[in-house]
Amino acid sequence: MDNLNDAQKQAIVHKDGPMMVLAGPGSGKTTVITKRTKYLVEKHGVNPRNILVITFTKAAAREMKERFEQLMKGECQVTFGTFHSVFFYILKQAYHFTAANIIREETKKAYIKESIDRLNLEVEDEADFISNIIGEISLVKSEMLPIEHYYSTNCAEEIFIQIYKEYDQRLRRNQLIDFDDMLVYCYELLSQRSDILAMWQNYYQYILIDEFQDINKLQYEIVKLLAKPRNNLFIVGDDDQSIYRFRGAKPEIMLGFPKDYENTKTVLLDVNYRSSKDIVDGALRVISNNKNRFEKVIKSNRALEQPIVVKSFSDTNEEYKYLIEEIQKNNRSGMLYQDMAVIFRTNLQPRVLIERLMEYNIPFKMKDMVPNIYEHWIAKDLISYIKIALGDRSRSEFLRVMNRPKRYLSRDLLSSSVVDFSLLKEKVKDKSWMVERIVQLEADLDMVKNLPPFGAIQYIRKAIGYEGYLEEYASFRRMQVSELLEILDQLQDGAREYQTFSQWFAHMEEYKVQLEEQMKQREDKNYDGVTLTTMHSSKGLEYQAVFMIDVNEGITPYKKAVKDADLEEERRMFYVGMTRAKKILHIYWVKEMFHKKMSPSRYIGELSFAKERLKVGNEIYHKKYKKGTITYIDEKKMMVYFEQLKDTRTLSIEYAVSQGLIEF
């Protein structure tokens, strides 16, 4: 253990009782878990069969097992598995379940869709709606919530309850379980059968859990049952990297561990072996603004290298141009493309960037499934309007938009596969107001056909009233209309450079083909391409250079985050993104997006006035003052202002920029 630091050694030699290991980014937690397991077997004589190591993914469990077997120089009977695999194994022994009892994902979606159809719900983004409902069902089960008291974020409560109950009934009727049921049934089994519980408690005498910050309430309750009465629980995690609240994972569970187990020993792995001192210090100062966390002092084992670069741009076009130049510069200096990553908050953000990377022949691979925005239902609505304006009279296109916004036209009026406006007006001639609406639609379509794509979308949004339809739909779906308008903004902005509809449609086809080609590269680990990833999906990864883009209020933190708990989770996501970088970290924000003024993220403000070094233009300025380190342009003005402050974090970035104290 000569190459280990003192904190790692302390964790590894621990034997009995609960221990919490706070393991920040790049602190060597996998080494600690595998070597502690080896120590239990070799030094304390623990039977390998009595050790359980739990991770959150199959890949992590496989990697952990391989690392352990390399240490042991051969196979060993320690159990390495995910929560689901371990708990399903317990159920198999009790109920003789097999893989055939686990519902397939497509069957699950089919069950939900059938409920939607039975309830006659008109849902445009059906795939997203089904996915969100499945997520809510999972949350209800994992949080052990009474269904009657659950407030759905996707539809009315009575609708969600009906879908939930129908889904549950069908599972039971067909002797099927989903992944959440594995936990529910396991908890019920161990709670109700003390003899079975005692058997598993005796079998798993030492339990080690990786990424403990991602645990949900139900998983934790089962673990607590299994650990009794020995309570040999060895948990490893980082509350600052808890970013899956939507799955039921909350940092409060880890924060409460020392209260649940009063004799808990705590070790902080306080050395980051991944990132430079600049990055570690900057990231820590941002995350320190969270109140609901364990305080930590973490140091880098690497020297100062390159200061964190914070840079502003007039718009995303300027931002992406600079980003591409930086990627090319790094590559020319010898850095592989695969050693660089672009990190963003949502998977809708990189559409334009993807197009630019293709233009410059820069290879890239996407960590997430990036949706094709032109296949979004809103895009299809716009395209239908345009096709009809250009002369397409197919029933399918007309059906799509005839009541968006509401014109109160019935499907029954469309008796043939081709829509005839004259015949349509004839059918409703006794209702003058309906005739007027059809006449107005014809006039609107005449306008649209003579406009370029950008203008056509603007006319459909405002003059035809499509935005009004989106407002009504957002209200029904309990979502912010801004989420839908953002799709419109992206589509309209992307159409700006095309003069004709044929050019725009050709671009859509080309983009689709290129996107499909890029998706094939996702699983190729040897493919030398820049990684494009959301903050969520970047967790656990590391790169020589990281570029965080669009770090603006409303994006990071995301506009839906309004509660303190949500804002703290957004900050944790930003922290995760920052700590993926080993050597180079660039943080970019834009002053304007979709012709709307934007402000820098509050996290940039938290970073900028509490850093040892910040690159401003071509110079590096730094000045020690009290507890923090202040970056400034005008020393006199800055120091006068700081005489009035007790805490450097109270200086707002907007004030400093407006007063000429700093610039980006």
pLDDT value at position 302?
84
- Across the range 152-165, mean pLDDT stands at 92
The secondary structure of the chain in percent helix, strand, coil, rounded to multiples of 5, reads 55, 15, 35
- Across the range 72-86, mean pLDDT stands at 92
- Across the range 619-633, mean pLDDT stands at 37
**Contact between residue 282 and residue 551 where contact means Cβ atoms under 8 Å apart:** no
Name beta bridge partners: 429: none
Alpha helices in 360-394 (DSSP H): 377-389
- Tell me the per-residue pLDDT of 631-652, one tens digit each, with 9 for 90 and over: 444 444 444 444 444 333 334 4
Q: Cα–Cα distance between 196 and 187 in angstroms, integer?
A: 12
Q: What percent of the chain has pLDDT over 90?
A: 70
The pair of three-digit structure tokens given for residue 245, joined into one six-digit string: 């609240």
Angle, in degrees to the nearest 10, between helices 126-142 and 217-227: 30
- Across the range 121-150, mean pLDDT stands at 90
Q: Cα–Cα distance between 333 and 283 in angstroms, integer?
A: 26
The DSSP string of 517-542 is: HHHTTTT-TT---EEEEEHHHHTT--
Q: Cα–Cα distance between 65 and 277 in angstroms, integer?
A: 32
Alpha helices in 333-452 (DSSP H): 351-359, 377-389, 395-401, 421-427, 432-449
Q: Cα–Cα distance between 38 and 69 in angstroms, integer?
A: 9
pLDDT value at position 622?
38
Burial of residue 197, with CB atoms counted within 10 A of its CB: 0-12 exposed, 13-18 middle, 19 or more buried: middle
pLDDT value at position 609?
47
Q: Which residues contact 240 (CB under 8 A, 6 or more apart)?
A: 24, 251, 287, 290, 293, 296, 572, 575
Name beta bridge partners: 82: 55
Kindly report the pTM of this predicted structure.
0.84
**Contact between residue 328 and residue 362 where contact means Cβ atoms under 8 Å apart:** yes
**Over 90: is that where the pLDDT of 264 sits?**
yes
Instruction: Please calculate the CA angle 456-461-463 and round it to the nearest 5 degrees.
Output: 85
Q: Cα–Cα distance between 404 and 385 in angstroms, integer?
A: 10
Query: Mean of the per-residue pLDDT values for the chain?
Result: 88
- By mean pLDDT, which of 85-89, 211-215, 655-659 is the weakest? 655-659
Backbone angles phi, psi at 621, to 5 degrees: -115, 140
The pair of three-digit structure tokens given for residue 322, joined into one six-digit string: 């600079």
Q: What region does 663 belong to: left with phi over 0, alpha with psi -120 to 50, or beta? A: beta
Residue 124 pLDDT class (50, 70, 90 cuts): confident
One-letter identity of residue 183: L
Length of the chain: 664
**Over 60: is that where the pLDDT of 283 sits?**
yes
- Tell me the per-residue pLDDT of 570-604, one tens digit each, with 9 for 90 and over: 999 999 999 999 999 999 999 998 888 999 998 98
Task: Give the pairing of strands 592-593 and 596-597.
Answer: antiparallel
**Over 60: is that where the pLDDT of 320 sits?**
yes
Name beta bridge partners: 619: 616
Say whether the peptide bond before residue 405 is cis (omega within 30 degrees of 0). Answer: yes
3-state secondary structure at position 590: strand
Residue 664's CB: how many other CB atoms inside 10 A?
A: 20
3-state secondary structure at position 21: strand
Angle, in degrees to the nearest 10, between helices 126-142 and 157-173: 80
Q: Cα–Cα distance between 462 and 470 in angstroms, integer?
A: 12
The pair of three-digit structure tokens given for residue 544, joined into one six-digit string: 């020589």
Alpha helices in 43-178 (DSSP H): 58-72, 83-95, 105-118, 126-142, 157-173
**Over 60: is that where the pLDDT of 301 sits?**
yes
- Tell me the per-residue pLDDT of 251-263, one tens digit each, with 9 for 90 and over: 999 999 999 999 9
Q: Cα–Cα distance between 135 and 511 in angstroms, integer?
A: 30
**Over 60: is that where the pLDDT of 13 sits?**
yes
Residue 200 pLDDT class (50, 70, 90 cuts): very high
Name the residue with higher pLDDT: 50 or 75: 50
